[in-house]
Amino acid sequence: MQVEALRASLGATVEGLDLSQGIDPDSAAELRTALLEHQVLIFPGLGLDDERQLALAGVFGEPELHRLEDEDNRDFDSVEGHPEILVLDDPAKNPANFWHSDATFRQQPPLGALLSVRACPPRGGDTLWASTRNAHEELSEPVRRMISGLSAVHGHPPSTSSAVHPVVRRHPETGRPSVFVNRGWTTRIEGLSRHESQAILGMLFDHCERPEFSMRWSWSEGDAALWDNRCTLHYALRDYGSNYRRVHRIALAGDRPRQEN
């Protein structure tokens, strides 16, 4: 198995991973270490079926059950017999063409997600990721001090789900801080006026989405990707017209975000 960095600060490809006999403990440990270092792992041409996708996801955490009765899941379908696997093949039902972290409007957002591309358009449909860990490192010291200790509200209209999380989150495994707000779900900062909240959030959104902190992947059928939802944003480009795109996604159960200090 070979892990090769895509960019100096974000993303790596993983090749030579043989899942036919399962994943041995040494390979599993290497994969977990690679995720913590690179934040996004791309598996070109891995060609996962549902069983192997579940097995690979299990290396990194506990797959979340997809429950159709949940308000937040009302527009999704799952694979028959595998309620952990969401089928995403209709962008009108699942718009993701904006910068966001998954489900931060929940008290315990996912640790990460494993995406397997089963059908992709001949062109378009790329996905971008951005590192909010790297973004935090590049903030000036006065701004880091200003946002440390603040909390923000995350919501998902028209759902009633909402949660309050620290603006700066400490990673539960690496201990490194990241900016934990996103344009998709973060609505306001607690304790600030509307004007103050909008100004600070707007600055943080723009900063985290800078190209210097991002990477982009052009999909081929059979590719898979895993990302750490605790310190990244992502954006699924919807630029492939009426062409068909089908991906299977497994979310991994996460913990409640905690403050930097």
Q: Which residues contact 96 (CB under 8 A, 6 or more apart)?
A: 234, 235, 236, 238
In this prediction, residue 158 carries a pLDDT of 67
- In contact, 130 and 214? CB cutoff 8 Å: yes
In this prediction, residue 198 carries a pLDDT of 98
Query: If we measure between CA atoms, which residue out of 233, 227, 219 comes closest to residue 250?
Result: 227
In this prediction, residue 70 carries a pLDDT of 52
pLDDT tens figures, 168-209: 999 999 999 999 999 999 999 999 999 999 999 999 999 999
Compute the average pLDDT of residues 159-174. Answer: 93
In this prediction, residue 75 carries a pLDDT of 60
The residues annotated with a catalytic role in the active site are 100, 102, 234, 249
Percent of the chain with pLDDT over 90: 82
Give the CATH class of 1-261. alpha beta
In this prediction, residue 160 carries a pLDDT of 72
Lowest pLDDT segment from 7-21, 26-40, 200-214, 223-237:
7-21
pLDDT tens figures, 57-116: 999 999 998 654 455 555 678 888 888 999 988 877 767 899 999 999 999 999 999 999
The span from the CA of 21 to the CA of 116, in Å, is 19
In a 10 Å sphere around its CB, with 0-12 CB exposed, 13-18 middle and 19+ buried, how is residue 52 labelled? Answer: middle
In this prediction, residue 72 carries a pLDDT of 55
Q: What is the mean pLDDT of the chain?
A: 93
Give helix 50-60 / helix 25-38 axis angle, nearest 10°: 70
- In contact, 101 and 229? CB cutoff 8 Å: yes
- In contact, 46 and 17? CB cutoff 8 Å: yes
DSSP state of 212: G
In this prediction, residue 54 carries a pLDDT of 97
pTM for this structure? 0.94
